[in-house]
Amino acid sequence: MPTKLKGMTSLEIAIIVAIVLVIAIAVGWYLYTTFASAGQQASLTVVTGNITKKTSSITLYLRVIPQGGASVQIQAIEIAGKSITAIKVNNETTNIVTGPAWVTADLTKQVDVAVGQVLTGRVVLSNGAVAPFTVSVLAG
């Protein structure tokens, strides 16, 4: 036999159920947004690139686009077994990419290349993600 709660009307029960429901939705939304944002690791895509070899300099040019809504920080560019940390983004001495950008690195004292050579490398981000690339050496 069902028991009836003493002194509680159906309106009071409906109010309590509504409050519990609102709290459950708020907690669920908090958990969803927390884990959804934690699961999105910022990454970078290298669209195009090349190495320009001039008489006195060798420069790497990469066109990059960050994926997702967050900006990314470049830790290093690895190419031909060397790690390059002196990087410019859109000709600024910063390593933070907030949108589509040109990333340049001076390879003059780091790498010896020949025109027509093809090299592979990768962009290493501060969060540990990597973006691989392949570039050709062009005469400047």
Q: Which amino acid is at 104?
A: T
Residue 38: per-residue pLDDT: 56
Q: What is the pTM of this model?
A: 0.69
Nearest CA-CA partner of 103 in 92, 122, 89:
89
Q: Please give the pLDDT value at position 47.
A: 93
Looking at every residue in the chain, the average pLDDT score rounds to 86
Classify 43-139 by CATH class: mainly beta
Position with higher pLDDT, 140 vs 53: 53
In this structure, the strands spanning 43-53 and 130-139 are parallel
**CA 123 to CA 46: how far, in whole Å?**
8
pLDDT exceeds cutoff 60 at 40: no
Q: Kindly list the domain boundaries of the chain, sorted by start residue.
A: 7-39, 43-139
Mean pLDDT in residue range 62-73: 86
pLDDT tens across 84-132, in order? 999 999 988 888 898 899 999 999 988 889 899 999 999 999 888 899 9
